[in-house]
Structure formats: C-alpha cells, structure tokens
C-alpha cells in the first residue's frame, strides 16, 4: 500500500549527496554526511541548531563509537573521527584495504548488533559499471577483515535484523538493483547462505540506504523512485511512503521514542522540477525503529 505521510523538511540544508543519517540519543541530535562536500552535519532536535565539520577527504558513512567518537568509511580507509569545538574533524586512519585503488572509496556502512563495524567500497564512476566493490568488517582486535563479499557494483543497504541473525545487503547500481539476505553468525561476525531477498527491478527506485524497525521489517530508500519501501522479513512489500524528492538516499529511525524516520537525499544532477533534491525530511511512519549499535568490538 502507498501511504502519504506528513513530511517535515529540515530547513537550511541542501546536500550534494546526503548520506548515513543517524540518531544520537544522549545528545538528542541527528547526524549525517554530505559526501562530495566532505562535511559532517549535526542537527540539535530540541533547539534546531545546525553545526558542521569539514573532513580532508570524502566521508561516506559514520557510526557512533562507545567512547563518544565516530568510526567512518572514507576515501582512503576506515577512520576514527573526533568532532570537537572547531570546524574540522580530527581524523585518524585505522585501516585501509590494499584493493582500495584510484577512483574508489568506501560507501554505505554501519555496525552489526554486536558492535563490529562493516562498510563496503565502490568504484565512483557508476557509468563504468565496474564490479570492484567489496564488503569489509573492522574490529579493534582483528583490524580489517575481508573482503567478505566481492564483485559489488554499488554497495548499499547494509542492515541487521533486530536479533542480529540476518544481514541485509543491497547493490543499488542500475545493472543490479538487488537486495540480499544472509544468515549471520553473531559469534564469529560472518554472513553465509546468501539468497535474493528482493529483486527491485520491477519496483519503484533503486535500493539505496536502509533501516530496521522493531517488527523486523526492512526499510529501503527507493533512489530515483521518490519513495521509501518497507519489506517484511519474508521479503514482501507491505508499505510504500511517497516522498517529495526523486533521489532519497538513506533513512534512519530516531527521536526520543525512535519513531521518526529521517531520510536524506541526493541533490547532484537533480531533475528539472525536483525542488526537494538534496533536502532532508522527517516522517512519522507509525512504527518504531531499532537503535543503532555503537562500535565497541
């Protein structure tokens, strides 16, 4: 079913490629990144105050750490980011895969339910359709492991079921448009038994960034499709929320009751008439989400 929910825009923000939104409960704040702008944004949900930090290279995904900093997938590796009072983030590179060559960067990423950080790489020129993307795991003890999954065009859609026993991964490239599900070994931190969860080709949009709700349903942004879609654990489409932007990029649950969905979008190469391109919107879909696990392992 298609739902037309009340949509609230975050004012004074227009991203080139808005990605990796997340909710910081202690700060009652939203964070997200603008990849080409090399910027991390913060919105205080109570005061409405906006704050931003610059990075020296593109930052594609961020996750909270148990020490208060952030872990991030960037152009040249996995980084620790400290956001202080200044205008620039303090960057420390933690690891880099040898396969991360010219024209590549990390893309989508988050922590599993046990606190391990996962992120994948992509070849930035999507028109070249090079399946060079790989998925990696990073922990404090083991460092960078992988590639765990290879031959991805545009890695996206990473998420875990509430119990952590199912891992989801998408490839949002027009040549793929597929979401996979894996059985996930929570002790070893390894996915196995890959299967097609959803073939998005017949549906609206390409499968971009994702979020999980408390019912175990998987929410995915329909990039180029002006919607966010919800799939049941069985892969059945049971909700579609129409959005005012053509290219929604990633969604996350947050707010004091975890029942607000923040959706980022892409402003680059916007279509004529897409006045919402690059904006961020808040939607109340009527269901709560699962809080993101912080990096701790």
Beta carbons of 249 and 148 less than 8 angstroms apart: no
Q: Which residue has the tokens 């979020």?
A: 211
| 208: annotated active-site residue | yes
108, 208, 213, 274: the catalytic one is 208
Q: Which residue has the tokens 């942004």?
A: 221
Q: Which backbone phi and psi does 27 adopt, to 5 degrees?
A: -90, -5
Beta carbons of 16 and 52 less than 8 angstroms apart: no
What does the alpha-carbon distance between residue 155 and residue 153 come to, in Å, rounded to a whole number?
A: 6
Token pair recorded at residue 235: 């892969």
What does the alpha-carbon distance between residue 34 and residue 190 come to, in Å, rounded to a whole number?
A: 30
What does the alpha-carbon distance between residue 85 and residue 155 come to, in Å, rounded to a whole number?
A: 33
List, by residue number, the catalytic residues. 208
């Amino acid at each position: 079913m298609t739902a037309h929910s009340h949509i609230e825009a975050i004012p004074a923000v227009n991203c080139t490629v808005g990605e990796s939104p997340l909710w910081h409960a202690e700060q009652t704040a939203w964070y997200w990144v603008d990849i080409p702008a090399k910027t991390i944004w913060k919105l205080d949900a109570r005061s409405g105050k906006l704050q931003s930090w610059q990075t020296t290279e593109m930052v594609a995904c961020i996750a909270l750490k148990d020490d208060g900093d952030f872990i991030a997938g960037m152009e040249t590796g996995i980084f620790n980011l400290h956001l202080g009072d200044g205008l620039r983030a303090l960057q420390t590179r933690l690891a880099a895969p040898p396969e991360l060559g010219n024209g590549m960067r990390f893309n989508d990423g988050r922590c599993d339910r046990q606190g391990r950080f996962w992120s994948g790489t992509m070849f930035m020129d999507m028109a070249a359709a090079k399946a060079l993307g790989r998925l990696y795991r990073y922990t404090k003890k083991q460092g960078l492991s992988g590639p765990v999954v290879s031959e991805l065009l545009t890695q996206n859609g990473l998420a875990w079921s509430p119990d952590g026993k199912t891992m989801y991964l998408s490839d949002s490239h027009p040549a793929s448009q597929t979401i996979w599900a894996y059985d996930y070994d929570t002790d070893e931190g390894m996915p196995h038994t890959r299967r097609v969860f959803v073939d998005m080709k017949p549906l609206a949009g390409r499968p971009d960034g994702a979020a999980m709700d408390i019912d175990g349903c998987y929410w995915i942004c329909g990039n180029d499709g002006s919607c966010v879609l919800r799939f049941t654990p069985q892969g059945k489409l049971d909700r579609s929320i129409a959005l005012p932007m053509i290219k929604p990029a990633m969604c996350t649950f947050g707010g004091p009751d975890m029942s607000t969905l923040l959706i980022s979008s892409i402003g680059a190469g916007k279509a004529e008439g897409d006045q919402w391109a690059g904006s961020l919107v808040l939607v109340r879909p009527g269901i709560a989400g699962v809080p993101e696990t912080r990096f701790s392992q």
